[in-house]
Structure 1
């Protein structure tokens, strides 16, 4: 370990600077997939209803 290493937990100012830096490796927040899941569920229900209706007629 180098001699000039400063532990960020050593003092409050260094820890705050360390904890408030943006993490470059953090992934960007992706948009919600809930509308896609709901849309797929609606399509499945409509297809099942269509197949059932065709099977009974």
Structure 2
């Protein structure tokens, strides 16, 4: 830790300033969406099921 570290829980004003800091909002907003991963997994599952059904009936 650095020497100039200030504990945000030191008092109420410091904690509120820490919570309202803009960098905490951008960190949460910068997480990538998991929707393409979920859609891709669903499409892959449908393809596998269709392939197994085609091989079983063919």
Shorter-chain TM-score: what band?
A: 0.5 to 0.7
Aligned residues: 53
Question: Unpaired segments of 5 or more residues in structure 1?
Answer: none
The CA RMSD measured in Å over matched residues stands at 2.6
**Distance between the aligned counterparts of 1:29 and 1:8, measured in 2?**
28
**Distance (whole Å) between structure 2 residues aligned to residue 49 and residue 10 of structure 1:** 64
* TM-score, scaled relative to structure 1: 0.61
* SS in structure 2 of the partner of residue 47 of structure 1: helix
Structure 2 segments unaligned to the other structure (5+ residues)? none
Q: TM-score, length-normalised on structure 2?
A: 0.60
More helix by share: 2
Q: Which has the larger radius of gyration?
A: 1
Runs of 4+ in 1 over 2 A off after TM superposition: 4-7, 19-27
Deviation of 1:44 (Å): 0.4
Distance 1:5 1:35 in 2: 44
Q: What residue number does 1:31 align with? A: 34
